[in-house]
Amino acid sequence: MRHYSMKNAGILVIVLFLSCAGSDTEPILNRTETIPKAQRKSHSIKAFSKTYSDEYFWMKDKSRCNEEVLSYIKEENRYTEAVVEPCKEKIEQLYEEMRARLTEDDLHVPEKIDDYYYYSKDLKGNEYPVYCRKKGSLESIEEVILDVNLLAADQGYLEVADISISPDHKMLAYLADTEGNEFYRLFIKNLSTGHLLNDNAYPVGDMEWGEDNKSIYFSLMDMESNRSDKVFVHVLGEEKNKLLFVEEDEGFNAGISKSRDKKYLFISSFSHTASEVFYAPSTGGEFKVFTARIPGHIYYPESRNGEFYIWTNCDGAKDFKVMKCQQEETSSSNWRSFIDGEDGIHKDFVIFKDHFVLSETKESDETLKVLNFSSGKWHEIPLGDPPYAVYLHNNPEFTSKIFRYSFVSMIDPYSVIDHDMNTKHDLVKKVQKIIGGYSRKKYHQERIYAQAEDGTKVPISLVYKRSLFKGDGSNPLWLYGYGAYGDSNTDYFSSARLTLLDRGWVYAIAHVRGGGELGKKWHEQGSMLNKKNTFTDFISCAESLYENKYSSADKAVINGVSAGGMLIGAVLNIRPEIARMAILEVPFVDVLNTMMDPTLSAVVSEYEEWGNPNIREEFNYIASYCPYTNLKQGKYPDILITAGMNDMRVNYWEGLKYTAKLRQVKTGNSLVLLKMNMSGHFGDSGRYEHYKDLAFIYGYAISTIR
């Protein structure tokens, strides 16, 4: 459910192996265990003219201390562990196979900031990165500035985020979460002494250094709503923080950032559909509004050469355009066009002192164009054949002539590329190395289209190994979907996915409506009162894959994470026979009950995505598709649900309640397993833990689908 945090650069797949077999005819799944039976307690929920019964409401415990709930969770985890006990050796084999492909000692491409080169490295056996720097040149002596492994030594969980160096390179600020609930504590380290300062704050959303080297700005989160609603400035050595901004609207979050030319600080207040920015000199001063908040208007400015360049959706530019204004005339009435908007082509940009990089995305494929401000001429950066994905790096040096990006496809490992914006030449700095060898020629990727119920063409990206693809429907299929918040599912490479492809699997991504693959309209057609298009699109994608002999329903796994888990839950209620198995990871399945509780994390801000249940029409629409409340008696496939005890985006009780009710209503002998992780939305921290989790789920699929 939760989407607003910018920290979620990526989603960790947290799953558990469901069943496996020693041979095609001899299953070794432990079926002798007694299935946990949850108590059913009467509880009614009234809304408008309707009354809903929720017999598992008692599982909802915000304190996460209720002994009855904790005891039941332990029983679910015990049951799942007992069921898969005979499969542990198989899972370990797959984990070792995935790990064998990794470059365990790995140096990431250094990033130049002023006279320093900053980089991180992974060392064999270490779960976490080591952050380092060198001064002057890459031949200089290495200085370790932060070893996350040392921080994690006495922690069960650790995520370090938003690492930031002070402008004079003497201080290091970072955010650390030790629970998985995304409540971060701010730490500041003196790089000369190696000691932590007494200056800290909690819980912090994001932070930014002032150019005076002694002021650090940060947003503070409300722990009840999990919303960043205040912005402070802290001066090193002082006890009190100065409050700069309070966002009263519960649908908005507040954040802090700095312009790329380092001249301005921005306080941004934002929802899913609107934003408002306040700006001040980065050396200190009063913040003033950039242009006043208007419902539906999203904008963010950047600074260059006495002007602001503004990314905006104003005047109907749903997929954004770029405008500019003088820095003393920031009201929108003074904005003038720089890059026009185009429907279905999402625009974004990175600005440099002498160059402007324009990103245009259509159907998930990105085009990069560079403007030389001096000559006024554009050139395009040549990329590969679609489908592919492009990721823009931080590019911290505003004056640089080098623009860094990464290129990847479903068959091309990640490449880090430096593009010289003057010479127009590319320099490949690094290509992801696959230990044991890898040849893209052995694999095939393509994009096909399914026809939705209303005639809309829905893209599907897929990949498989050429020599193992039969084209007769007998290949096993992994079909993934998300479709929410206007986020695009990128066509990325995964070395772990080779475990599936090398065993004959087809891996497919359904780019259903609700995502952003085809622009803002694609998002709007799968949100609010159009949300059901997301579900029927996914069904159409599955059917198209079956009809075109990529696979068949009895050999398919369908999978979704978070809002994608809600997608899979809704699909199962509509067409439970659509696949042999379903995997719902940290799934947002109790949509109706969650959206009716505004005290939960960021619920109010989500009204713009799902609808406001206080409005009758929107309540009725949510109620008509909510996966949990619409579970009904009948056959369901084998289903695995995961949840995170400290998850503040999708609270743990959603998966817990869904598991209990699903077992209550389903018929037949299919299994329903729950794995409750004791961390948060993204599962356990650590790179090896991630691959262990993938080994669980891939082992489940490989051994069960034949």
Identity at 275, one-letter amino acid code: S
Catalytic residue among 365, 647, 684, 693: 647
Question: CB-based burial of residue 59 (10 Å sphere; 0-12 exposed, 13-18 middle, 19+ buried)?
Answer: buried
First to last CA, the chain: 33
Among candidate residues 282, 681, 685, 703, the one labeled active-site is 681
User: Active-site residue 562, yes or no?
Assistant: yes
Joined together, the tokens standing for residue 180 give 């998985």
- Is 164 in the active site? no
Q: Is the four-CA dihedral 62, 229, 209, 293 of positive or negative sign?
A: positive
Active-site residue among 562, 601, 679, 685? Answer: 562
584, two tokens: 């719902």
Q: Under 8 Å CB-to-CB from 78, ≥6 apart: which residues?
A: none
- Number of H helices and E strands in the chain, helices first, is 12, 40
Task: Identify whether 5 is a catalytic site residue.
Answer: no
* Burial of 514 (C-beta count, 10 Å sphere; 0-12/13-18/19+): buried
Cβ-based neighbour number of residue 310 at 10 Å = 23
| Coil, helix or strand at residue 562 | coil
Name the DSSP class of 342: B
Lookup: tokens for 465: 């190994």
List Cβ neighbours of 343 (8 Å cut-off, separation of 6 or more). 318, 319, 519, 521
Q: Give the β-pairing of 336-339 and 321-326.
A: antiparallel
How many other CB atoms sit within 10 Å of the CB of residue 188?
A: 22
Both tokens of residue 415? 């490449």
Instruction: Report the Cα 674 to chain-centroid distance in Å.
Output: 22
Instruction: Identify whether the C-beta of residue 265 lies closer than 8 Å to the C-beta of residue 279.
Output: yes
Q: Which residue numbers are catalytic? A: 562, 647, 681
